[in-house]
Amino acid sequence: MPLTAQQSKQLEDLLYNESDVAYKRRVRTMLAYLDLAPGHAVLDCGTGMGFYSLCMTELFGSLRVWGVDRDTHALAFARSALAGRPVLLSEADILRLPYADGSFDRVLMTEVLEHLDDDAAGLHEVYRVLRPGGVLAVTVPAARYSAWYDPINRIAEALTGRPIRRGPFAGIWANHQRLYEPAQLQQALTQAGFECAPIEPLTHYCFPATQTLVYTVGKGLIERGLLP
């Protein structure tokens, strides 16, 4: 369901300082797709620094939001950013979620699945904690990414058959176990029990090496307190 005009304005205010236009598009799309309503119980699966939880509680009022992540540094940041909001954060493994069956109306899992050692097991856990008729919104990095987006890894894959997964040149592959073709994502979802809606690309044209500059270099400097 599309966001209301007021919600769209609130979201644009929250996204004002975000430099990654592809990320902005992803946030807008995921929040609309979830079709949130007051009273919904929502799991932010792989919550990171808590931006999606911040947006959900800002735009949709009386939600009940739970967030899980294994990154203690990110969770500490999220706890500070979300102080006073109805969000319960936990350090937990997605492969062993600490919730009863059917606990949530909605689950958000954006740019998380590719990090899991066992993505099938992760999706089965999410299916377990989602109520019948609930909605999962999931995004993953595309295997067919543009060479303009991450030219370094495109060259590395062409020359060696292997991507760069660690270090300052990891780009789109940074700490990822895999990237996904649309058919691979659809198969993983259906095998876990989900009814899969049509998969939509969420790319955006950008300057060359945006992934490397914004995420690998810029995000790393921000997380280390070297940039504001």
Q: Are the beta carbons of 19 and 214 closer than 8 angstroms?
A: yes
- Whether residue 74 contacts residue 49, with contact meaning beta carbons closer than 8 Å, is answered with yes
- Tell me the fold of 5-143+180-207: Rossmann fold (3.40.50)
With CA atoms as reference, report the closest residue to 127 among 111, 103, 92: 103
Q: Which of 12, 111, 125, 223 is catalytic?
A: 111
Per-residue pLDDT in tens (0 to 9) along the chain, 228 residues? 678 899 899 999 999 888 777 788 899 999 999 999 989 999 999 999 999 999 999 998 889 999 999 999 999 999 999 999 999 999 999 999 999 999 999 999 999 999 999 999 999 999 999 999 999 999 998 877 777 677 777 778 788 878 777 777 777 767 778 889 899 999 999 999 999 999 888 765 566 556 566 665 655 555 566 655
pLDDT at 206: 61
Instruction: Please compute, for residue 34, the number of CA atoms within 13 A of its CA located in the half-sphere on the CB side.
Output: 31
What integer pLDDT is reported at residue 213 of this predicted model?
Answer: 64
Q: How many helices (H) and strands (E) does the chain have?
A: 9, 5
pLDDT in the model for residue 220: 59
Look at residue 150 in the predicted model and tell me its pLDDT. Answer: 76
pTM across the whole model: 0.84
* 111 counts as catalytic: yes
| Residue 58: per-residue pLDDT | 92
In sequence order, what are the residues at sequence separation of 6 or more whose Cβ sits closer than 8 angstroms to the Cβ of residue 160? none
List, as one string, the DSSP characters of 12-30. Answer: HHHTTT---HHHHHHHHHH
Is the distance from CB of 67 to CB of 108 less than 8 angstroms?
no
Contact 191, 126 (CB under 8 A): no
Residue ranges of the alpha helices (H) in 67-118? 72-81
